[in-house]
Homo-oligomer: A and B are copies of this chain.
Amino acid sequence: MQTKRTPSLLAAALVCALAFTTAISRADPLPSWNEGPAKKSIVEFVTKVTKPGSPDFVPAPERIATFDNDGTLWAEQPMYFQLIFTLDRVKALAPQHPEWKTKEPFASVLKGDLKDALAGGDKELIEMAMATHAGMTAEEFNKMAGDWLATARHPKTGRLYTDMVYPPMIELMAYLRANGFKTYIISAGGVEFMRVWATQVYGIPVEQVFGSVIKTKYEVRDGKPVLVRLPELHFVDNQGGKPVGIHEYIGRRPLLAVGNSDDDFEMLEWTTAGSGVRMGIYIHHTDAEREWAYDRESHIGKLNKGLDEAPSKGWTVVNMKNDWNTIFPAEKK
């Protein structure tokens, strides 16, 4: 019985495998992207660098793609989500800090006057971040950030922050990985804040998520080793810091880099100055209806120099309104 059946089983298996392969190769890997020059340039680039024998072929270990996070993989309006987390922490910690009632920027945050609270600029923002992100162990911070992300809601959309990620970008990262790329986050956001949720939401393992870093100290407390977060910045992964971070964390120049603001300019510049074909992509926030529209004059995610120089540098500018048929995922209730 067995010997007679084998050939037909083999044939059937072959037909199945062929049908399956064809279905896979025909399926659109970027269904949330409308047909247009942006999608076309991405698919052409990936095809070029992955096709064996192509003059532009790049071996898999060198296929590195780096992504900014705020405004590139998830939204960033009306302010960085980690800043909203910081403000929530200030409110939660206020009872233990009576002095904050009269000390800026804390006093304005507690009075609900955000404009005054944020008027001091970076110095005061960093002071608040240090007051709320330091003084605990890494494990404690991790739990605190996880708890907040599981419950906090965006002031405008009412969504969980992890439901304000962009499906077109998640598709792009999956498409790249399916083509042998390693996908990395290179963000000015805090690395430990992102690592709490990035794997689940983006499919990127924690060891490929990098961002700004607070100083940490190793200590043995009651016989148990802990990493204590100190109120001091160790590394700011922004602007020129992004190529510096990429060099330290990855040690290879990316083949592809994606950002959305002038803070990503140097990352795109460093990436596309490499030898052979490289790709730089800017996500341009143009959809006031489904998301937000902002660029040259924005207080957050300012994109001015980048828009000026993208054409001469050969970077692809993605127009969110035209190029994406989906902005946010279906909500997980």
A residues with CB within 8 A of B: 2-3, 6-7, 10, 61, 138, 182, 191-192, 195, 205-207, 209, 213, 216-220, 224-225, 227, 234-235, 240-241, 243-244, 247-252, 266, 269-270, 273
13 residue pairs bridging A and B, Cβ less than 8 Å apart: A6-B6, A6-B7, A191-B251, A206-B251, A207-B249, A213-B248, A217-B244, A218-B240, A225-B266, A225-B270, A227-B243, A234-B235, A249-B249
A227 touches which of B2, B225, B244 (Cβ 8 Å) = B244
Cα separation A310 to B176 with both chains bound (whole Å): 45
CB <8 Å contact, B218 and A270 = yes
Specify which chain B residues have a CB less than 8 angstroms from the CB of A10 in the assembled complex. 6
Specify which chain B residues have a CB less than 8 angstroms from the CB of A2 in the assembled complex. 7
Cα separation A234 to B244 with both chains bound (whole Å): 11
Return the chain B residue nearest A228 by Cβ. Answer: B244
Specify which chain B residues have a CB less than 8 angstroms from the CB of A235 in the assembled complex. 234
Q: A192-B251, A218-B266 are in contact. List 8 more A-B contacts (CB 8 A).
A: A3-B7, A195-B251, A207-B251, A209-B251, A217-B244, A224-B273, A225-B270, A234-B235
Specify which chain B residues have a CB less than 8 angstroms from the CB of A244 in the assembled complex. 216-218, 227
CB <8 Å contact, A207 and B252 = yes
Specify which chain B residues have a CB less than 8 angstroms from the CB of A224 in the assembled complex. 273
Specify which chain B residues have a CB less than 8 angstroms from the CB of A195 in the assembled complex. 251
Output the least CB separation between A147 and chain B (Å). 19
Return the chain B residue nearest A207 by Cβ. Answer: B250
Q: A218-B240, A218-B241, A225-B273 are in contact. Are A248 and B6 (CB under 8 A)?
A: no
Cα separation A85 to B10 with both chains bound (whole Å): 61
CB <8 Å contact, A217 and B240 = yes
Interface centre among A234, A244, A251 (most CB of B within 10 A): A251
